[in-house]
Structure 1
Amino acid sequence: MGRIEAVNDDTFTACMEQLQEGYVAAVAATAGCAMESVRRDIYGMDALLVRPPEHVGKQEVSVFAQLKNTTTLRPDPEKSTFGYQLKKREYFDRLALKRKDPKAILIVMATSVRQADWTTAHHDRLEVSHCCYWVSLEGQTAKEGVESPTVKIPTANIFDANALTNILDKLDRGESLNECS
């Protein structure tokens, strides 16, 4: 990788987070869901994605998301998975926890080192030039003593409106997310 070409080196990481939040919010809106940012990162979760109930008398469905954005990965769609190293064991442990409700997923975005390449505007659309992938780590274990576990993320798990809808449908039926990740 070359040097990160930031508009402003002091704000580059914050802008990476903002780009991913915008991507996830756009996906949620397309799927008819709300994205609520978790402003205090006390529990390691960055967002709550909520789908309203289909009709009166039914409950909404939600999933927590931990968001990670990196410039060091280039997932190869020809391979079935790619590895992402979490910086803290605590992040892994919180995602692997067997939760009642809401469940939690990891969403990883692979971003260019050139900030100017992140989006391209056209008269009829705005393109975000990068992709998010998701995985459920519920019930997984990491080797004892590993402080920065690497997780395998399926390249088929592109985070888009269809994926979010499928995730929430599975949760609504009480099914495991590990069967589709």
Structure 2
Amino acid sequence: MRPLTSQNVEAELSYAYIHAVAAKAHMGCEVASRHDDSAGIDAKITAWGPFDGGILQEVDLKVQLKATVKPPTIVGNSFSYSLAGLNRYDDLRSTEVATPRILVVLFLPQTSEEWLHHSEEALLMRKCAYWVSLRGAGPSENEKTQTVYLPRTQLFDSNSLSQLMTSLSRIELPTYQGSSL
């Protein structure tokens, strides 16, 4: 068996990140099946009510995960991210899916030695992830990648996840806003 590549480690850390955030928010998080993975879904998060003003008492969210060591470029109030694979982009922008989907991008330090530190007192992962809904985004004019914009206000943490799930319980679906110039 070969050791994991750096890209494999980045991916595994992105799974650990969303699992930790979901657990802190008292939600379930599971790795998607290989069939879901073929459709651009890496994980599914489930939240249970009661939700403040919610209609639904159980809400699911599908997540496409990405991790990168490339420092994000700030464009207005957003980070730009080059999403490889137009099939993934099209899956995420679809308005014809019953379960909402988001993209979560974990920005890691450039040096792998800085990614994770642990001791008896703490387990520390450096940097953080941001999320965006691409629902309703326009078709790509590119052949291989599409630049998307993750609002800097959409840190993927337990508070924002709880707010997102509460909105979903009200059947308020987030849509893509593009860059915040």
Q: TM-score, normalised by structure 2?
A: 0.84
Deviation beyond 6 Å, 4+ runs, structure 1: none
Partner in structure 2 of residue 30 of structure 1:
24
Partner in structure 2 of residue 88 of structure 1:
85
Contact 1:75 1:110 in 2 (8 A): no
Pair 1:113 & 2:107 matched: no
Q: Structure 1: how far apart are the matches of 2:156 and 2:99?
A: 18
Q: 1:172 to 1:179 in 2, by over 3 A?
A: farther
Equivalent pairs: percent with the same residue? 29
Pair 1:139 & 2:158 matched: no
Amino acid at match of 1:71: V
Question: Out of 44, 52, 72, which is 1:48 matched to?
Answer: 44
Q: How far apart are 1:83 and its partner, in Å?
A: 0.9
Deviations 1:91-118 (A, max 9, x none): 1100000144310000001112322111
Q: Structure 2: how far apart are the matches of 1:65 and 1:30?
A: 17
Amino acid at match of 2:107: A
Q: TM-score, normalised by structure 1?
A: 0.84
Q: 1:39 to 1:99 in 2, by over 3 A?
A: same
SS of equivalent to 1:86: strand
Q: 1:180 to 1:125 in 2, by over 3 A?
A: farther
Question: Out of 136, 155, 164, which is 2:161 matched to?
Answer: 164
SS of equivalent to 1:177: coil
Pair 1:13 & 2:10 matched: no
Q: Structure 2: how far apart are the matches of 1:85 and 1:47?
A: 20
Partner in structure 1 of residue 66 of structure 2:
68
Q: How far apart are 1:80 and its partner, in Å?
A: 0.7
Q: Structure 2: how far apart are the matches of 1:91 and 1:143?
A: 11
Amino acid at match of 1:44: G
Q: How far apart are 1:20 and its partner, in Å?
A: 0.8
Question: Where do 5+ consecutive residues of structure 1 fail to align?
Answer: 1-7
Q: 1:155 to 1:112 in 2, by over 3 A?
A: same
Q: How far apart are 1:147 and its partner, in Å?
A: 2.7
Deviations 1:89-146 (A, max 9, x none): 1111000001443100000011123221112234432121120000000011134344
Pair 1:175 & 2:169 matched: no
SS of equivalent to 1:137: coil
